[in-house]
Structure 1
Amino acid sequence: MEEIDIGKKVEKYRKAKDLSIRELAKLSEITPSMLSQIERGLANPSIQTIKVLAKSLDVPTFSFFIEEINTVDLVVRSDHRKKMVIENLSYELISPDFTGNLATAIMNFPPNTASSEKQLEHKGEEVAYVLKGKIKVFLDDEEYILEPGDSVKIPAQMKHKWENHFNEHAAILFSVTPPVF
């Protein structure tokens, strides 16, 4: 975990509001030199000072304590996807990880495979899109054959199952929220 630089965040929010150090200092009732020291990391503000700065900048106090997102961690290169194999099925994670409220993956189905023996349900809502091949999806008591370009939404707690009883490989892009597998 990186150390959080509150001063840099104060400066970022101040500049976003187009305020000078003097203007923010006046709004926050602290000296310009103290604010300058906070922004440069030379002084550690008290919790009370952070609350006052947050109010003056019209941002939540906790926003000063949230770690910055490193954008390089948001990019997933096609040759560096996390892969998981369960029996004959493989999953390639398209999203960087399972943090957050959404995960996206590609399910790869060789011919004559199924996602499970019986229909399963989970708390996550799902949307799936067929990239290639044909696939049969069971939704409660109904069955549908999906082909490339077709999609399906599977509500949370709906029993479902995937089967590929065709002669070609199938690939399905799907997103789940919250991410559960």
Structure 2
Amino acid sequence: MDDIGKVIRNLRKERGVTLKQVSEKTGLSISFLSQVERGKSSVTLQSISKISDALEVSRSYFFNDHKNKNKIYRRSDHEFNFHNSNFVYEGLSGNVKNQVFEPMLVLLLPNKENVQTSTHQGQEFIYVLEGTLTVLIEDEIMELEPGDSFHIDSTTPHTWYNATSEPVKLLYVYSRL
């Protein structure tokens, strides 16, 4: 699969959307978006969420090869490729049209970057499979261990990240509704 920046640029151009329009919809600067598209800057989970909403595609669109048309998703279908980032989204539902929700397997590498909350439409459900996930909802910071989960309305200021030195694996279910 191509670098994530190339995938973003190709989709944006295919849809006839300018960098300025994506910038206006996401709140991300034109220069940052341009650097991501040229592979000069890595993209965060928050940024990819904003870009996917602006371009009206699933978050996993930028990571999947779009070959899996089946309704069954086998363990052997999972191939993690970090695409110059510290995370991987792996869609678990194939190419279902008009998805109401999007289940994904997410692998987060350790991340010491400054994190900020954001809001968007929809709901999120996360179930931690391995590692310790740090969650910030409004002003409350929590650490989730394997077997822990949370479900929120995404209009609540939030973010989640890996503040540890070990990878974190989780099941992420997102709905725009």
Q: Secondary structure at the match of 2:76?
A: helix
Q: Mark the CA change 1:98 to 1:140 in structure 2 (over 3 Å): closer, same or farther.
A: farther
Query: Which residue identity does 1:102 align to in structure 2?
Result: F
In 2: Cα distance, 1:154 partner to 1:127 partner:
7
| Match in the other structure for 2:141 | 143
| Match in the other structure for 1:112 | 111
In our comparison, the structure showing a higher alpha carbon Rg is 1
In 2: Cα distance, 1:85 partner to 1:123 partner:
26
Q: Secondary structure at the match of 1:138?
A: strand
Q: CA deviation at 1:106?
A: 1.4
Deviation digits for residues 111-170 of structure 1, max 9, x if unmatched? Answer: 2356x8321211120110000000110001111100000000121311211121212111
Contact 2:70 2:95 (C-alpha < 8 Å) held by counterparts: no
Q: What TM-score comes out, normalization by structure 1 length?
A: 0.52
Query: Which residue identity does 1:73 align to in structure 2?
Result: N
From 98, 104, 120, the equivalent of 1:122 is: 120
Mean Cα deviation higher: 144-153 or 161-170: 161-170
For the pair 1:133 / 2:131, whether they are aligned, the reply is: yes
- List aligned pairs for 1:82-101, cutoff 5 A: 85=82, 87-97=85-95, 99=97, 100-101=99-100
Deviation digits for residues 85-124 of structure 1, max 9, x if unmatched? Answer: 462111111111363201100121112356x832121112
Deviation digits for residues 33-71 of structure 1, max 9, x if unmatched? Answer: xxxxxxxxxxxxxxxxxxxxxxxxxxxxxxxxxxxxxxx
Q: Mark the CA change 1:177 to 1:111 in structure 2 (over 3 Å): closer, same or farther.
A: same
Q: What TM-score comes out, normalization by structure 2 length?
A: 0.53
| Match in the other structure for 1:14 | none
Give the % identical residues.
Answer: 27
Q: What stretches of structure 1 of length at least 5 have no aligned partner?
A: 1-71
After superposition, the CA RMSD in angstroms is: 2.5
From 76, 81, 88, the equivalent of 1:79 is: 76
Q: Mark the CA change 1:84 to 1:93 in structure 2 (over 3 Å): closer, same or farther.
A: farther
For the pair 1:171 / 2:169, whether they are aligned, the reply is: yes
In 2: Cα distance, 1:106 partner to 1:88 partner:
14
In 2: Cα distance, 1:158 partner to 1:84 partner:
30
Q: Secondary structure at the match of 2:164?
A: coil
